[in-house]
Amino acid sequence: MSRLVLLDRDGTINVEKCYLSSPEQVELLPGAAEGIRRLTQAGLIVVVVTNQSAIGRQFLRMETLEQIHARMRELLMALGAILHAVYGCPHRPDECCECRKPAPALARRAAEEFGADLSRSFVVGDKACDIGLGKCVGAKTILVRTGYGAALENEGTVQPDWVTDDLPGAAELIRLALADETVNSP
């Protein structure tokens, strides 16, 4: 079975802007494309799982969200990085849906679509809901210190499997984990 790397969007791939509202505002974090490129070169399927309550709050239209994702993918592709898919939850937190992280619906959808085993996959993000998603589906979790990650680490309220500075650091941790598995497999 395939393996996924489920990435958060805001604060992990692009600069956190509190309700990113237009494609022109998309600004990649330093090293984000490099990290994604390294993950795909390792044979992993890289997808984005993002909570986008701005839709449910009517701050943003679905069409604009799709344009934002297209712009993010365009910027990444220009740097040789490819995302296999982007999954977004448009609901407000009070709607109690099954797709808003840390709920597992979007991760399970990605696993089904790509024939992946979530228990052998990785979740990378800067928020408690990202780490919660990983724990919920049995994936390894990586907290990045970009976005809200450094503050979250200092609070000590979440227990990820690993913590690193950024997406290239996460890619390296994943590479080491995969190498360790290869060395230790029968």
Catalytic residues: 8, 10
Q: How far is CA 2 from CA 6, 41, 42, 97, 175, in A?
A: 13, 14, 12, 27, 15
Say how many CA atoms lie within 13 Å of 112 toward its Cβ. Answer: 7
In this prediction, residue 182 has a pLDDT band, given cuts at 50, 70 and 90, of confident
> What is the token pair recorded at 145?
């210190």
CATH (one of 3.30.1280.10, 3.30.70.260, 3.30.360.10, 3.40.50.1000) for 4-184: 3.40.50.1000
In this prediction, residue 1 has a pLDDT band, given cuts at 50, 70 and 90, of confident
pTM metric for this prediction: 0.95
> What's the alpha-carbon Rg for the chain, to the nearest Å?
15
Structural domain boundaries in the chain: 4-184
* Distance between CA atoms of residues 139 and 183, nearest Å: 20
Tens of pLDDT, residues 88-114: 999 999 999 999 999 999 999 999 999
Tens of pLDDT, residues 156-176: 999 999 999 999 999 999 999
| Residue in this structure with the two tokens 């190498």, named with its chain if needed | 179
